[in-house]
Amino acid sequence: MEYPSNVILLLLQLLLQRQQTLAHHNKSLDLAQLLRDPIVDKEVLDQFQNHKLVKMYSPELSNLHLRALKGLVTDLFTYGIPSAESPQGQETNVITLANHYYNKRIGELTLIELPELRQEIKNLLPE
C-alpha cells in the first residue's frame, strides 16, 4: 500500500468528517468507537473518488470499488503508526493516523518538495 501521504491524509479527513456526521445524526452511535472502527460507505467513496487530489496524484483510485476502499482503510489501521513514532499505549484511530500522515506530509514538503522548488526557481532566475 504505497500511495502518496497527501492522498491517505485526504481519505482520513473524509473518514473523520463522515464519522462525525454519522454520530451527530444518529445518537446511538458512539463517536469514539467510530473513530476506532470507521464506517466506510458510498458517501466516503464518492467524495474520495471525485476529489481533484486523487485524480491528480493517484488516478488509479478514481475507479475504486467500495470493497477495495474498505480494504484500504483496513490496511491503514492494520499497518497503523510505526512503533518508533507512536507513544506507548496510544490507540490507533482516525485522528492518530491523520496526525501521523500530517507529520509525514510536512516532512515531505520541508525536506523534499520545497528544496526542489527553490532549486527550480534558482535555475530559472538570471544571475
Helix (H, G, I), strand (E, B) or coil at 121: helix
CA distance 35 to 8: 16
Report CA torsion sign: 108, 20, 31, 64. Answer: negative
Q: Averaged in consecutive runs of 10 residues, what is the pLDDT profile of the chain (127 residues)?
A: 91 98 97 97 98 97 97 94 72 94 95 94 86
Task: Give the pLDDT confidence score for residue 40 in this predicted structure.
Answer: 98
Task: Give the pLDDT confidence score for residue 36 in this predicted structure.
Answer: 96
CA distance 50 to 79: 26
The pTM is what?
A: 0.89
Q: Are 38 and 18 in contact (CB under 8 A)?
A: yes
Q: Give kind and range of the element (H or E) at residue 4.
A: none
CA distance 121 to 52: 26
Task: Give the pLDDT confidence score for residue 83 in this predicted structure.
Answer: 72
